[in-house]
Amino acid sequence: MTFRAVLFDFSGTVFRLEQDETWLADLTDHEGERLDIEAQTELMRRMTAPVGQVVDLDEEHLHAWHNRDRDPVLHRKVYLEVLKQSGVPHADQAVALYTRLIDPTQWTPYPDTEAVLKSLSGKDVQVGVLSNIAFDIRPAFSRRGWDAFVDEFILSFEVGAVKPEPEIFRTAIERLGVDPAETLMVGDSEEADGAAREIGCAFALVEPLPTTERPDALLSALRTHNVL
């Protein structure tokens, strides 16, 4: 199979939201005590988990949770509730942290992201970034000049569909002008990203490890599928 296009998930695939100690150092719980490292780590896990409900929610917030990646307002609403239930009860602290979490310039690229994007561009392979997300991630690429290597950004809050719904994958391949059988989806979630196989795409799974622990998974995935 010759692939003419590769779709990449964003979080945990080409970029990762790494824990920044300075963001969390001043967070305090209900009793005014600072969150310990274990609590900070769990908080970040909850804020970046690709699938699965991470806290118990009432009906209002449950609706926001299920639609968070379609609507920035609902995304903000439910994640402030997640922060509250995760040991950050003070609204000002929660808002400040949330604002940092949705700032794409704060996200860290995996070590091989640049090499992969440039290599695909050199081989004339179409590249799409397809993400369940409620904020614009383009600045994470443009500030590094990598937007030149991405043909399409397919973001759930812009297209009104979320993975694993087939509509979002169809939108991606239509924009790229390729056939599903000529498209490889690369992502860190079997459930969400792996659903690309339902419309005929191939799929490669990568682990959402810290960037320092995953130096070349993207390169390996593309080589395994004979894209590079």
Check if CATH label 3.40.50.1000 holds for domain 5-16+107-225: yes
**pLDDT tens digits along 175-219:** 999 999 999 999 999 999 999 999 999 999 999 999 999 999 999
What whole-number distance in Å separates Cα of residue 224 and Cα of residue 228?
8
**pLDDT tens digits along 9-58:** 999 999 998 877 676 666 777 777 777 777 777 777 777 765 677 788 99
Tokens 């395994």 sit on residue: 224
Is the full-model pTM beyond 0.85? yes
Domain boundaries for CATH 3.40.50.1000 within the chain:
5-16+107-225
